[in-house]
Amino acid sequence: MSHMTGLLILTQPARHIITDLPKVLKAASQYVSKTLYVHLDPLACTPPLTQVNQRLTLYSRIINSIYYSSPSLCRGIDVRVLLAGFKSLSEIPLKTSSRIDAVLFDHAWKGSELVNLEARYRSFIISKDRQIFLLDENCPTEGEGTELHDNMKNAKANKIYPSVVIGGTFDCIHVGHKILLSEALLRCQNRFTIGVSEGPLLKNKTLKELILPCEERVKNVRELVMDIDPSVEYSIVPITDPLGPTRWDPNIDMIVVSEETIKGIDLINNVRREGGIKTLDGYVISLVKDDMRIHQEEEEKISASSQRMRMLDIIGNDGEINRKILGAKVFGNKDALETLNGIVWPEIQRLANVKIEAERKTGTRVVVLDAAVLLAAGWQSMCHQVWVCILKRAEAVKRIMERDGKTEAEAERRVDSQLSGRAMVEAANVVFCTQWSTEYTQQQVEQAWATLTKYINDMGAKNN
Q: Which residue has the higher pLDDT, 305 or 390?
A: 390
Q: How far apart are CA 265 and CA 283, in angstroms?
A: 9
pLDDT in tens, 275-319: 999 999 999 988 877 776 767 777 777 777 777 766 554 233 333
Q: How far apart are CA 199 and CA 401, in angstroms?
A: 27
What's the mean per-residue pLDDT of the chain?
84
- Ordered DSSP codes for 320-364: ----HHHHHHHTT-HHHHHHHHHHHHHHHHHHHHHHHHHHHHTT-
Q: How far apart are CA 55 and CA 58, in angstroms?
A: 5
CA–CA distance from 335 to each of 107, 338, 356, 406 (Å)?
Answer: 73, 5, 31, 21
- Ordered DSSP codes for 283-325: EEEPPPB-TT--STTS-SB--HHHHHHHH-S----------HH
How big is the CA angle at 452 (ends 447 and 454), to the nearest 5 degrees? 95
3-class DSSP state of 45: helix
Task: Give the pLDDT score at 314.
Answer: 29
Helix (H), strand (E) at residue 429: none
pTM of the prediction?
0.68
Q: How far apart are CA 242 and CA 195, in angstroms?
A: 9
CA–CA distance from 434 to each of 11, 28, 441 (Å)?
Answer: 50, 40, 6
Task: Give the pLDDT score at 464.
Answer: 63
Q: How far apart are CA 285 and CA 343, in angstroms?
A: 59
8 A C-beta contact, residue 12 and residue 107: yes
DSSP 241: S
Task: Give the pLDDT score at 139.
Answer: 53
Helix axes 408-416, 393-404, angle to 10 degrees: 120
Rounded to 10 degrees, the C-alpha dihedral 193/68/435/408 comes to: 40
Domains of the chain, with CATH numbers? 3-135 (3.40.50), 152-293 (3.40.50.620), 324-463 (3.40.50.300)
Give 449's pLDDT tier (boundaries 50, 70, 90).
confident
